[in-house]
Amino acid sequence: MWQPSSARWDIPKHLRPWLNDPGSLTARLNALGRAPIKVQVLRQSWGRPRLSEARTLGLRTSKTCLIREVVLYGPRQQPWVFARSLFPAASLTGALRHLRQLDSRPLGGYLFTHARLGRSKLQLALIPPTGIIPAALQGDTSLWGRRSVFTLYGKKLLVSETFLPDLEQTLQRNT
Ligand SMILES: C=C(O[C@@H]1C=C(C(=O)O)C=C[C@H]1O)C(=O)O
């Protein structure tokens, strides 16, 4: 499912700059909505990574991670992004320990304050309505997503972001 962004994709023109932008999605959404996005935490609990996630993080699937699933909302409470982040236990130590209590603060608001933040190449996917994303958010269409591994103080975390229908329609209107 996940392919390098250089793969021969037929990415819709209005999504291409967004899917491939290595900067903070939070910052870009704040600018789009001309207001700070709202973060609703759907889940922040320990669990096992999916096989693809474990491979991307270089972990065995038996290694539990803190799994954070959130929805980012636009200024009129439009659901714009479903994000799933995995924090290996070994990453939630030292300077990153406080990420255990991120709550409704946007992860990017913290990550992108660090000049030494590392980010892997973005992988893209067209995610079918198979339950990976709550059906109430996805509907019955496949949605474009992106993911990458951030590295900070030598600690890794995997962040995947799926663009929900309202965001896609908003971007299409703006193109
Ligand atoms: C990584 C970023 O943080 C955003 C906020 C997230 C959260 O609060 O869990 C998760 C993914 C991103 O959409 C970013 O802004 O680029």
Best mutation site among 67, 72, 103, 152 for ligand 1, i.e. most ligand atoms within 8 A of its Cβ?
Answer: 72
For residue 12, report the distance from its CA to the centre of ligand 1, in Å: 22
What's the CATH number for 3-174?
Answer: 3.40.1410.10
Q: Whose CA is nearest to atom 1 of ligand 1?
A: 108
- Model ipTM value: 0.97
pLDDT, tens digit, 9 for 90 and up, residues 96-131: 999 999 999 999 999 999 999 999 999 999 999 998
Residues 3 and 34: their CA atoms lie apart, in Å, by: 32
**Per-residue pLDDT tens over the stretch 129-156:** 998 899 999 999 999 999 999 999 999 9
Chain-centre distance of CA 100, in angstroms? Answer: 17
Q: How many helices (H) and strands (E) does the chain have?
A: 6, 8
Q: Ligand 1 pocket test: which of 26, 102, 105 has the largest number of ligand atoms within 8 Å of its C-beta?
A: 26
**First-to-last CA distance in the chain?**
27
